[in-house]
Amino acid sequence: MSIRLESVRVRLGDTDVLNDVSLAFDARTVAVIGENGSGKSTFARLIGGLVARTSGELRVLGLDPRSQAAELRRRVALVFSNPDAQIVMPTVAEDVAFSLRADRLAPAECEERVSAALARFGLHALRERASHELSGGQKQLLALCGAFVRRPDLVIADEPTAYLDARNARVVADHLFRRTDHRLVLVTHDLALARRCDAAVLFVDGRAAAVGAPDAIIAQYDQTLRC
Ligand SMILES: Nc1ncnc2c1ncn2[C@@H]1O[C@H](COP(=O)(O)OP(=O)(O)OP(=O)(O)O)[C@@H](O)[C@H]1O
Ligand SMILES: [Mg+2]
């Protein structure tokens, strides 16, 4: 199983934000859906190693985020709605190269990887541009480029298309769903996007209320929205 949780609880402040979550999935692409405040982002941060569990058992790619945090960081990439939080270097090419710093590659290999990634994300012509001058959509492509240049085994994306226009949302989604080796956990309110996943999980009040085929889980979510 690529992601497995057993009775996981996450307490933040005086609230159990995630409560008794037990899940196991091995699907390559998993959608995480649910109402505002249901715990989706906390779940994404938990499996990405950014939030610690209070109790329970958790394995991501077979790793314990608590005791194998460095290995998890190496194999997992996170993408969020707001690319400004993820872009750190002054120019586009430098920012992508920064993602590879932990790999300690020879300069030529680093440059090769960066150039290939920039080309793949349609950013080649912008490589010397100041990162902060990019449009929102271009910044999100840069954030994605920085995530994928590391060749992660798992990409965790929390509403990656939230601020994008329809065209850029499609471009970003197509990169996320492109058939490569990576697995994808996609938190989204875009149910059409959720339908493209192999499996879905519905969060309700900090609990994983249902897991299964996206069509069935989305239908169940629709029912709760009508109440
Ligand atoms: N650091 C924190 N301290 C206390 N409560 C928190 C903290 N982070 C999140 N919460 C609470 O946990 C609940 C779930 O938040 P979370 O961000 O995981 O929801 P979400 O499903 O991603 O919502 P949205 O769809 O609005 O992004 C919310 O009620 C939120 O107020
Ligand atoms: Mg959220």
Dump pLDDT digits (tens) for 11-25. Answer: 999 999 999 999 999
Residue with the smallest CA separation from ligand 1 atom 19 is: 37
User: Which stretches within 5-80 are classed as H helix?
Assistant: 40-47, 69-75
Residue with the smallest CA separation from ligand 1 atom 16 is: 39
- How would you class 155 by CB atoms within 10 Å of its CB: exposed for 0-12, middle for 13-18, buried for 19 or more? buried
pLDDT at residue 180 in the model: 77
pLDDT at residue 1 in the model: 65
Atom of ligand 1 nearest to the CA of 14: 4
pLDDT at residue 5 in the model: 98
Q: Which residue has the higher pLDDT, 85 or 130?
A: 130
**Model pLDDT for residues 165-198, shown as the tens digit of each residue:** 999 899 999 999 987 789 999 999 999 999 999 9
Q: State the first-to-last Cα distance of the chain, in angstroms, to the nearest integer.
A: 34
pLDDT at residue 224 in the model: 84
pLDDT at residue 169 in the model: 92
Contact predicate 143/115, CB 8 Å = no
The Cα–Cα gap between 227 and 224 comes to 5
Q: Within 10 A of 156 (CB to CB), how many other CB atoms are there?
A: 29
What spacing in Å lies between the alpha carbon of 36 and ligand 2's midpoint?
Answer: 7
What spacing in Å lies between the alpha carbon of 105 and ligand 1's midpoint?
Answer: 38
Which two structure tokens, joined as six digits, stand for 148?
A: 């994928």
* DSSP H/E element including 188: none
Ligand 1 contact via 39 beta carbon (within 6 Å): yes
Q: Does position 38 have pLDDT exceeding 80, yes or no?
A: yes
Contact predicate 25/211, CB 8 Å = yes
pLDDT at residue 102 in the model: 87
Provide the whole-model pTM: 0.95
**Model pLDDT for residues 69-112, shown as the tens digit of each residue:** 999 999 999 999 998 888 999 999 999 999 999 888 999 999 99
Residue whose token pair is 């959608």: 31
Mutate which of 16, 42, 50, 53 for ligand 1 pocket (most atoms within 8 A of beta carbon): 42
Mutate which of 10, 11, 12 for ligand 1 pocket (most atoms within 8 A of beta carbon): 12
Q: Within 10 A of 110 (CB to CB), how many other CB atoms are there?
A: 17
pLDDT at residue 85 in the model: 87
